[in-house]
Amino acid sequence: MSDASLLETLVSKEVVYPGAIIRLEHWDVTLPNGHHALREVACHPGASAVVAIDDQGRVMLVRQMRIAVGRLTTEIPAGKLDSAEEDPLDCAKRELSEETGLQADSWEKLTCMETTPGFCNERIHLYLATGLHSGQSHPDEDEFVDVTRMPLRQAVENVLNGTFRDGKTCLGIMMAAAKLASSK
């Protein structure tokens, strides 16, 4: 099957809800068979997330309430870009500092993931940060987090056994573990 037989063509967009974090749009698309269809798209400016590993091989994690899923989660530090033009690396550095009080000497891009491409255009840039040193955390005023350190080996086990269910955290931990293992 050729790619052309799968492509949709955007005809028009309409903002349905101009939210503070996401903007909901209705997109009219032409399908490969010539018919039209409605796509509901959650538009997001993007985000960055950090797998920060200390000299003892521990990953920095933040525990926080995620009311949308109704539970406390354990995640890698992350946050949304201030604008679509913000450098994702600058965002990653800011979020690591805000949420953990840490800074890093070395930064490496792991990937850019598309979180839920069936209905959302959010992309999260994942980074590996090493050479960590302390500073002062300064979370946003509506952000309450508990910072914890966990051996990377245990974090990988928590991904594999389903304890960690956050997509960016799972992908970031697995990619960082693979990268660090291949560099030994």
For the segment 76-127, what is each residue's pLDDT rounded down to a tens digit? 999 999 988 999 999 999 999 999 999 999 999 999 999 999 999 999 999 9
* Percent of the residues in the chain that have a pLDDT greater than 70, as a whole number: 97
- Which residues form the catalytic set? 141
Q: State whether 9 and 86 are in the same domain.
A: no
Q: State whether 141 and 96 are in the same domain.
A: yes
Q: State whether 95 and 168 are in the same domain.
A: yes
What distances in angstroms separate CA 148 from CA 61, 73, 77, 117, one per listed residue?
5, 12, 11, 31
How many domains in the chain? Answer: 2
Q: pLDDT tens digits, residue range 28-68?
A: 999 999 999 999 999 999 999 999 999 999 999 999 999 99
Which residues face 74 on adjacent strands? 63
Cα 86 → chain centroid: 15
Do residues 126 and 157 make contact, with C-beta atoms less than 8 angstroms apart? no
Cα 78 → chain centroid: 6
Domain that holds residue 25: 3-43
Read off the pLDDT band of 2 (50, 70, 90).
confident
Q: State whether 69 and 156 are in the same domain.
A: yes
Average pLDDT (131-137) is 82
Q: State whether 170 and 131 are in the same domain.
A: yes
Q: State whether 68 and 84 are in the same domain.
A: yes
Phi, psi of 123 (to 5 degrees): -125, 135
Q: State whether 37 and 53 are in the same domain.
A: no
Would you state the pLDDT for residue 4? 83
Q: State whether 100 and 14 are in the same domain.
A: no
Q: State whether 92 and 38 are in the same domain.
A: no
Q: State whether 27 and 63 are in the same domain.
A: no
Question: CATH code at 165?
Answer: 3.90.79.10
What distances in angstroms separate CA 88 from CA 131, 134, 148, 155, 181, one per listed residue?
19, 22, 24, 24, 25
